[in-house]
Amino acid sequence: MATSLEDDVEPNNQDYYSLLNVRKEATLEELKSSYRRLCMLYHPDKHRDPELKRQAEQLFNQVQQAFTVLSDDHARAIYDIFGTKGLEVEGWEVVERKRTPAEIREEYDRLQREREERRLQQRTNPKGTISVGVDATDLFDRFDDDDFEEVPSSGFPHIEINKMHISQSIEAPLTKR
């Protein structure tokens, strides 16, 4: 082969359908056929030139990744909705395999919101305190004397909140640095 293998497929191409040269509605059989053909073409052992071998290895790995994703119905549904970015999201390992694309989209959006909230929490470092003063002396003083006959008619001790203090603080950068 005298030409560069990179002319066939861009190394950073993330469109798995075009990488495998199949339509978006391709069946598993069509995927397998294309995968086998491309594996034979780009297998690193088929090339002697070190540069061509390196390029073939990159393309071979991309073809394998594309086939792995598109041959798995669950991963394919995620890929069809969100692309490769959707496959890289943390937390998908707990997603059930029998979800519809709409449910997968909702789960993805929820995970994105949680990730954004965690990032915001880390940037602002919010802290809050609540102090409450409770007067519960009646709870302990009511049976001090030895005469138990004078139990109040309600039977419940008088407990009151006599002070409360709430404070909140956040850290925010004044500049973008």
pLDDT digits (tens, 9 = 90+) for 56-71: 899 999 999 999 999 9
For residue 18, pLDDT over 80 is answered with yes
3-state secondary structure of 166: strand
Domains and CATH numbers, the chain: 5-122 (1.10.287.110), 125-146+153-169 (no CATH)
User: Band of the pLDDT at 13, cuts 50, 70, 90?
Assistant: very low
For residue 33, pLDDT over 50 is answered with yes
- The DSSP element (H or E) to which 64 belongs, if any, is helix 50-71
Rounded distance between C-alpha atoms, residue 55 and residue 43, angstroms: 10
Q: What separation in angstroms does the CA of 96 have from each of 75, 110, 114?
A: 11, 15, 18
For residue 72, pLDDT over 90 is answered with no
Sequence-separated contacts (24+) of 112-120 with Cβ below 8 Å? 115/90
Predicted pLDDT at 148: 54
Q: State both tokens at 26.
A: 């391709």
